[in-house]
Structure 1
Amino acid sequence: MANEWLERWREGRIGFHRETVHPALLRHWPALDVAAGGKVLVPLCGKSLDMRWLVEQGHPVLGIELSSEAIEQFVSEGAGEVSRYRQGHFDVCRQASIELWCGDFFHFHIDQAHEIGVFYDRAALIALPPAARQRYAFHMAQLLLPGARGLLISLTHGSGPDKGPPYSVDHAEVQRLLSPNFELTLLEERPPDERRWRESVWSLVRRGPGRE
């Protein structure tokens, strides 16, 4: 899985990347009622322009991405000086209010997440194969304190083999993976697009007791 992801970035096969801010983020982020200044965790962030939009709303961003190619493209397409340093298992690039941590999301530790109170998952859960999604859901729960809020965008496909990424993650699986540790609210379900993908948007609130 990791090697395939890195190869996609090296070869420029990044059809999943959006050249505009995701419309669902624009529609639903205000409803989370997150105070300005809350740091947003964006797992498996790629070079998403959504991160720049979040900064414009007053939120520092911490993005985690396996591909150094994605990170270098992001900072080269941005403005401002870039500082670089090492943090645990990660090489970190910082540009303005955005920190991009290059490495395996599962190596991101609780101690490194103490400032995180908000998260945004546009392409993380749906980028992972079935065997990794349970681990992802548990790891997210361990990183966040009770009351932490987030926005999740999931995709389901009507039929055919699931050869992702992106993978089809239906409502039942979202509930099974996340409801033990998060209060879930389905905010929106879009009609299928031309490729028969149906997009759903969820708000999440971390239940107690929080980190262990």
Structure 2
Amino acid sequence: MSTSWRQRWQEGRIGFHLDQPHPALVHYWPTLEVESGTKVLVPLCGKSLDMRWLAEAGHPVLGIELAPEAIEQFLAQRSIGVSRYAQAGFEISRQGSVELWCGDFFHLHIQQAAEVGAFYDRASLIALPPATRERYAFHLAQLVPPGAKGLLVSITHQDDEAGPPYSVPGDEIAQLFTPNFRVTLLEKGSPDERGRTESVWSLKRRGPPL
């Protein structure tokens, strides 16, 4: 995946990028009642403006992204100072309350995500081929503590094999996440002009209270 993902960014084939925060984030995040100051993990974050929205809502953000091009484009959106450092296989850029870690999400260790208390996935799961999605769901569960809440946006479309974005139906969402999360469907949209239907889910990490 890494080579093809980098190539998409280098060639500007990023039709998944939105020029404003995702409406589902704006509408549903407040309903999760995530405490202000809770750090939010955003896997495969790209240059998403959703991270700006989360930061402005009072959340430190930890974004993980494989393509350095995406990170540099995100940082260039604002004329704010950037601090840079390295840690255990990641090149890290911090701008305001947003930390962007350039590297492989699957190499992120639980100690590195120790401060994370919530998560947001708009384009992570649907960017992964079927064989990798189970690994992703398990790794996410390892990184977030019991009680952590998150928002997941998924897509279904007619060609199950085509992607990214890949079509991930509701029964697969349930199969992937219910072993470790309480999963609730918040909204199922209408198909767009390309026949893609978005669904919005809330997830809460199972486990004994901290």
**TM-score when scaled to structure 2?**
0.98
Q: Equivalent residue for 1:22?
A: 22
**What is the correspondence of 1:91-130 to structure 2 with a 5 Å cutoff?**
91-130=91-130
Q: 1: CA distance between counterparts of 2:78 and 2:88?
A: 25
Q: Specify the alignment match of 1:166 in structure 2.
A: 165
Which runs of 5 or more residues in structure 1 are unaligned? none
Listed one character per residue, the Cα deviations across residues 35-83 of structure 1 (whole Å, up to 9, x for unaligned) are 1000000000000000000011000100000000000011011231000
| Alpha-carbon offset, residue 163 of structure 1 | 1.5
User: For 1:111 and 1:209, how far apart are their aligned partners in 2?
Assistant: 19
- Structure 2 gaps of 5+ residues are none
- Residue 111 of structure 2 aligns to a residue whose secondary structure is helix
- Paired residues for 1:47-126 under 5 Å: 47-126=47-126
Report matched runs for 1:143-162 at 5 Å.
Answer: 143-157=143-157, 159-162=158-161
Q: CA shift at 1:87, angstroms?
A: 1.2
Shift of 1:160: 3.0
SS at match of 1:110: coil
Amino acid in structure 1 at the alignment position of 2:196 = W
Counterpart of 1:178 in structure 2 is 177
Residue deviations 1:98-132 (CA, integer Å, cap 9, x gap):
00000000000000111000000000000000010
The amino acid that maps onto 2:162 is K
* Separation in structure 2 between the aligned mates of residue 59 and residue 202 of structure 1, nearest angstrom: 20
User: Contact 2:160/2:166 (CA < 8 Å) preserved in 1?
Assistant: no
Distance verdict in 2 for CA 1:61–1:124, change over 3 Å: same
- Asked if 1 retains the 8 angstrom alpha-carbon contact of 2:40 and 2:59, the reply is yes
Deviations 1:144-187 (A, max 9, x none): 11100000000011x23521000000000000000000000100
> What is the rounded CA distance, in whole Å, between the counterparts of 2:175 and 2:78 in structure 1?
38
Task: Give the 5 Å matches for 1:131-150.
Answer: 131-150=131-150
AA partner of residue 150 (structure 1): G
SS in 2 for 1:45: coil
Query: Equivalences for 1:1-40 in 2 at 5 Å?
Result: 1-40=1-40
- Per mean C-alpha deviation after superposition, the further-off stretch among 160-169 and 57-66 is 160-169
- Separation in structure 2 between the aligned mates of residue 31 and residue 7 of structure 1, nearest angstrom: 37
CA distance in structure 2 between the partners assigned to 1:29 and 1:182 by the alignment: 17
Aligned-pair CA distance for 1:193: 0.7
Q: Given residue 68 of structure 2, which amino acid in structure 1 is its aligned partner?
A: S
After TM superposition, where is structure 1 displaced by more than 4 Å over at least 4 residues in a row? none
Cα distance, 1:180–1:161 mapped onto 2, change above 3 Å: closer
In the alignment of these two chains, the number of paired residues is 210
- Give the 3-state SS of the residue equivalent to 2:100 in structure 1: strand
2:160·2:167 contact (CA, 8 Å) conserved in 1? Answer: no
CA distance in 2, matches of 1:37, 1:125: 25
Over 3 Å counting, the alpha-carbon distance change for 1:134 and 1:209 in structure 2 is: farther
Paired-residue identity, %: 65
Which residue is equivalent to 1:196? Answer: 195
SS of 2:24's equivalent?
helix
RMSD, aligned α-carbons = 1.3
